[in-house]
Chains A and B, each alone.
Chain A
Amino acid sequence: MSRTWETPGGVHPPENKSQSMTQSIGHLPIPGTLVIPLHQHIGSPSKIDVTIGQTVLKGQTLTTATHSNNLPVHASTSGTVIAIDDQPVAHPSGLNAPCVTIASDGRDQWIEHVGVTDFRGCGPLDLLQIITDAGIAGMGGAGFPSAIKLSPSKDKAIDTLIINATECEPYITADDAAIREKAQDLIQGIEVVCHILNDPKRVVIGIEDNKPQAIKALRSYIQESPIEIVPFPTKYPSGGEKQLIYILTGREVPSGGLPIDLGMVCLNIGTLIAIKRAVIDGEPLISRITTVTGEACGVNRNYEVLIGTPISHLLTHNEFDENNCSRLIMGGPMMGFSLTSTDVPVVKTTNCILAPGHSEIPADTPAQACIRCGLCAEACPVSLLPQQLFWYAQSKDQERLEAHNLFDCIECGACSYVCPSNIPLVQHYRSSKGEIRKANIDKIDADNARQRFEFRKLRLEQADEQRQAKREARRLVTEQARATSNTSQPGSSAADIIAAAQQRAMIKQASPEQQKAKFERALLAAQSRLQEAEKRLIEATANGSKQQQIICSASVESARQKVDQTQYRLRELTD
């Protein structure tokens, strides 16, 4: 038995997992229309490959990736593209997003596809390309493109592969069901990933001890394999990536860092099965296992669901009683988000549709005052002080919030769950995080505006000085001209012209100091702008915002040019 470590805090909400495990994974009739959101993962949107009216086959790509961090999506069944427009999607914001709508032809006809016969003969990069082309993103929740996670990096070697079979959220049994029925696919998926990672030293499956049948199924498949199966006591939120890494290895992912900083990569059960299908069967990610559960559903069961299936289709096939539905949740009760409509489609991260009854999850009662009882701090899995965060969130004290590590909050909801005063703590933290992010953006904007203003002021001052110098010169010229015209013979215009020319030459001789000073000032300004721009670039790189990085590097470049130009002029003047 491998040693496990215990995370601080955690809660034990009622598990409610048995009701959806009474039957095996089911299949639903193909829905009449499927709505496939083009943007289901973290990363930028991709290019649309199909047009309205075009017929598509099952598994055909609908979009192509235009950048290394985005993924294609595929038709989940054969049919005709009937719309490409913005549709309601499952997102906490409630906003619409671009989708391809397919009217299915009922034939469910596959596009020609072929898997890799011997994946061990393929290079890791080829396999990663297959995984990217299959549109595989983390299916545990965040939807991070899997190939990026698995890509080799120059300075960070991966020596541990962690397989997340925790499924700590109540109600959800999608991974449990997948392990019981598709353990062989899972093991093959693990083998593929091990090959990509060049056989990591340690491969470990972390699983909560409330899934004894899944543990048995896994054990029967990997008797002679070096894969470790590590069951540990059930406690929410053990399935958080950071929590699981600590439980299995006793090490902590640095704040703001990624598991790869520890030489680890963490993948979900569903993701590994999808990888097996992509590599060995040549099938892109067009379906997933989703738990449909809750008292408002007459049938509670896991289904292999096509991506793009409307939630309403799932619900009507499970004897949904909307009068007894207190809320509709995508995901689990702890971290899932509420849906306002049943029209939204299933996406690659939809692990559960929960339709609880009124008595099962009643409406929230009004929040009482915080008495700082500290039950939240006892429940926090990352050792924050939720009661203090709440205090500062209310007073919008952003400095204190950051000092109390607000951004290390994983929003697991354990604090809100135990709060005797029923305070929606997580909601407060989300809103505070948003406010702080916005304040940071505003600060950058304000800095830019200030710089622009200061530069303009400098430019106007310089122009003013130049004008004044010219005016002064002209005045001198006319005075001198007047003086010469008085002494010399009147009308000798040639003499006037010569005098004026001499005067101009004299001014020019006098002005190098002035000009030098001007260029020096300009050089100073340009250098400080360059410094500022470089600082912003470093910040943007640290933030990881691609767009910001591009903007910043452009401004660094232009600032550098300006410095060079000014230096050149200065040199010209002094030479």
Chain B
Amino acid sequence: MAFKQISSPHGHNPQSTSWIMQLVLLSTLPGFLALSYQFGWGTFINLIIAVVTSLIAEAAILALRNRPIAFYLKDYSAAVTAVLLALALPPLAPWWVVVVGSLFAIVVAKQLYGGIGYNPFNPAMVGYVVLLISFPIEMTTWVTPISLLSEGVNHPGLWKSLSIVFAGNTPIDGVTGATPLDVFKHSSGLVVDQIYQRETLFNQASFAGVGWEWVNVGFLIGGIILLKTRIFTWHAPLAMLGTLALMSILFWDGGSSASRGSPVMHLFNGASMMGAFFILTDPVSSAVSNRGRLIYGSLIGLLVYVIRAWGNYPDAVAFAVLLGNFAAPFIDNYTLPRTYGHTDRRKATDKGEDE
């Protein structure tokens, strides 16, 4: 009887790429729930539009590229990109904003580079940055957190939300407002205590910024789940958060008017936690070795702080991540681990034998 010639190893760990992607999707749930509780139906609608657009776009490009459509759609990577983009977009953004962002993420940032595994930049962040630069007004209009709504005012219901998103009806006054990072940025001249006393976004907050603190806690919980299930290592996220905290301590300046905000404010506002655990950890576009990921995470943490503190944008995760993506191959070149039996690390561009 003849048997098949099969290369070792025989047998396989049951964990698959689509399972990893599904786990990432599930882990966004706490963040998604926090967003939905704080800001209403908008995030849910974003999510649906983004996922539908992304899957259609992915399938269409796969068909154009003569690739098996079902095989690739089943890896859930397009869904992950769509969900991350949707969670980053402002709730109640017009539908075409979400569609344009999703199309750009999937078609340009992912498929044009060769599809899953070949994109040098994080597709969701490419989509986000394109939108932020092209449609600044739509992208900076944020819904007011639920606890700051005046009495008798509510977040629009599902139908009302749909009409805002699809028919372009403007939201009711008092439902949109600034984010804590916006407020802090535009309150220069005041000492930190004054800002905290004056602004409801801070004085009604539990510890960092109304609404946003819980969104960040949600993503932190999701991130811890992924760390525990060993989907990624701690290196990039912790390096990023650590550097962000360190920078805010260095420039805390005793809470004077020149202060750029406390570590807690920076860690639990904007896209800090989502960026650290769901964006930086995209393995395709990040550095590969653990040491490389430490440097990669630190660099992004540094850039986030620099752009938040001295740049023109209140938040900076998307820009910082894209810059980090640019640097990743360079970081990789210098961060190969030391192999067993070698006295030194080598560079990726080493020629010939070492020693």
The 26 sampled A-B contact pairs (Cβ below 8 Å) are: A170-B11, A242-B341, A246-B340, A253-B340, A253-B341, A255-B340, A255-B342, A325-B3, A328-B3, A338-B5, A340-B2, A364-B12, A368-B16, A368-B116, A369-B17, A369-B116, A375-B15, A378-B230, A385-B337, A400-B348, A404-B346, A413-B8, A416-B9, A417-B12, A418-B13, A421-B17
Q: Which of A336, A356, A374 interacts with B283 by CB under 8 Å? A: A374
Number of interchain pairs (Cβ within 8 Å) = 181
CB distance from B80 to the nearest CB of A (A): 10
Q: Is the CB of B7 within 8 A of A426?
A: yes
Q: Closest chain B residue to A312 by CB distance?
A: B1
Q: Is the CB of B77 within 8 A of A408?
A: no
Query: Is B284 engaged at the interface, CB distance under 8 Å to the other chain?
Result: yes
Query: Among residues 312 to 355 in chain B, which have CB atoms less than 8 Å away from a CB atom of chain A?
Result: 332, 336-342, 346-353
Q: Is the CB of A356 within 8 A of B10?
A: yes
Query: Is B118 engaged at the interface, CB distance under 8 Å to the other chain?
Result: yes
Q: Which of A334, A375, A382, A388 interacts with B8 by CB under 8 Å? A: A334
Query: Would you give the 0/1 interface string for A338-368, flagging 1 where the beta carbon is closer than 8 Å to chain B?
Result: 1111100000000000101000010010101
Query: Among residues 232 to 261 in chain B, which have CB atoms less than 8 Å away from a CB atom of chain A?
Result: 232-233
Query: Is B71 engaged at the interface, CB distance under 8 Å to the other chain?
Result: yes
Q: Is the CB of A403 within 8 A of B117?
A: no
Q: Is the CB of B1 within 8 A of A342?
A: yes
Q: Is the CB of B336 within 8 A of A385?
A: yes
Q: Is the CB of A371 within 8 A of B8?
A: no
Query: Is A327 engaged at the interface, CB distance under 8 Å to the other chain?
Result: yes
Q: Is the CB of B288 within 8 A of A408?
A: no
Contacts beyond the supplied A368-B17, A387-B288: 7 A-B pairs with Cβ under 8 Å:
A255-B340, A339-B3, A366-B71, A368-B71, A369-B116, A371-B117, A388-B288
From A170, A253, A338, A342, residue with most partner B Cβ within 10 Å: A338
Query: Is B20 engaged at the interface, CB distance under 8 Å to the other chain?
Result: yes
- Give Cα A422–Cα B11 distance, bound, in whole angstroms: 10
Which 4 A-B residue pairs are closest in the complex by CB-CB distance? A413-B9, A369-B117, A255-B341, A382-B340
A31 contacts which chain B residues (CB < 8 A)?
none
CB distance from A148 to the nearest CB of B (A): 21
B352 contacts which chain A residues (CB < 8 A)?
402
CB distance from B270 to the nearest CB of A (A): 27
With A255-B342, A422-B12 as known contacts, state yes or no: A369 contacts B7, CB within 8 Å: no
Query: Is A304 engaged at the interface, CB distance under 8 Å to the other chain?
Result: no
CB distance from A440 to the nearest CB of B (A): 12
- Give Cα A78–Cα B75 distance, bound, in whole angstroms: 60
From B16, B337, B341, B352, residue with most partner A Cβ within 10 Å: B341
Q: Is the CB of B3 within 8 A of A254?
A: no
Query: Would you give the 0/1 interface string for A423-449, flagging 1 where the beta carbon is closer than 8 Å to chain B?
Result: 010110010000000000000000000
From B283, B289, B340, B341, residue with most partner A Cβ within 10 Å: B340
With A371-B17, A400-B348, A403-B349 as known contacts, state yes or no: A408 contacts B233, CB within 8 Å: no
Query: Would you give the 0/1 interface string for B66-80, flagging 1 where the beta carbon is closer than 8 Å to chain A?
Result: 000001000101000
B351 contacts which chain A residues (CB < 8 A)?
399, 403
- Give Cα A61–Cα B336 distance, bound, in whole angstroms: 51
Query: Is B135 engaged at the interface, CB distance under 8 Å to the other chain?
Result: no
Query: Is A501 engaged at the interface, CB distance under 8 Å to the other chain?
Result: no
Query: Is B19 engaged at the interface, CB distance under 8 Å to the other chain?
Result: yes
Query: Is B218 engaged at the interface, CB distance under 8 Å to the other chain?
Result: no
- Give Cα A253–Cα B339 distance, bound, in whole angstroms: 11
Q: Is the CB of A371 within 8 A of B284?
A: yes
Q: Is the CB of A322 within 8 A of B1?
A: yes
Interface size on B, residues (CB 8 A): 51
Q: Is the CB of A388 within 8 A of B3?
A: no
- Give Cα A70–Cα B71 distance, bound, in whole angstroms: 51
Q: Which of A336, A338, A356, A417 interacts with B13 by CB under 8 Å? A: A417
Query: Is A11 engaged at the interface, CB distance under 8 Å to the other chain?
Result: yes
Q: Is the CB of A327 within 8 A of B10?
A: yes
CB distance from B106 to the nearest CB of A (A): 15
Q: Which of A335, A372, A403 interacts with B346 by CB under 8 Å? A: A403
Q: Is the CB of B348 within 8 A of A374?
A: no
A424 contacts which chain B residues (CB < 8 A)?
7
B332 contacts which chain A residues (CB < 8 A)?
388
Query: Is B115 engaged at the interface, CB distance under 8 Å to the other chain?
Result: yes
Q: Closest chain A residue to B339 by CB distance?
A: A405
- Give Cα A334–Cα B12 distance, bound, in whole angstroms: 9
Q: Closest chain A residue to B116 by CB distance?
A: A369
- Give Cα A530–Cα B247 distance, bound, in whole angstroms: 64
Query: Is A373 engaged at the interface, CB distance under 8 Å to the other chain?
Result: yes
CB distance from B43 to the nearest CB of A (A): 26
Q: Is the CB of A417 within 8 A of B9?
A: yes
With A371-B17, A382-B341, A384-B339 as known contacts, state yes or no: A338 contacts B9, CB within 8 Å: no
- Give Cα A405–Cα B288 distance, bound, in whole angstroms: 16
Query: Among residues 20 to 58 in chain B, which have CB atoms less than 8 Å away from a CB atom of chain A?
Result: 20
Query: Is A381 engaged at the interface, CB distance under 8 Å to the other chain?
Result: yes
CB distance from A364 to the nearest CB of B (A): 7
Q: Is the CB of A403 within 8 A of B347?
A: yes
Q: Which of A94, A257, A333, A421 interacts with B9 by CB under 8 Å? A: A333
Query: Is B6 engaged at the interface, CB distance under 8 Å to the other chain?
Result: yes
Query: Is A119 engaged at the interface, CB distance under 8 Å to the other chain?
Result: no
Q: Is the CB of A335 within 8 A of B341?
A: no
A411 contacts which chain B residues (CB < 8 A)?
8
With A338-B5, A418-B13, A426-B7 as known contacts, state yes or no: A254 contacts B341, CB within 8 Å: yes
From B75, B115, B339, residue with most partner A Cβ within 10 Å: B339
Query: Is B4 engaged at the interface, CB distance under 8 Å to the other chain?
Result: yes
- Give Cα A424–Cα B5 distance, bound, in whole angstroms: 14
Q: Is the CB of B9 within 8 A of A335?
A: yes
Q: Is the CB of A420 within 8 A of B15?
A: yes
CB distance from B281 to the nearest CB of A (A): 10
A337 contacts which chain B residues (CB < 8 A)?
8
A387 contacts which chain B residues (CB < 8 A)?
288
Query: Is A551 engaged at the interface, CB distance under 8 Å to the other chain?
Result: no
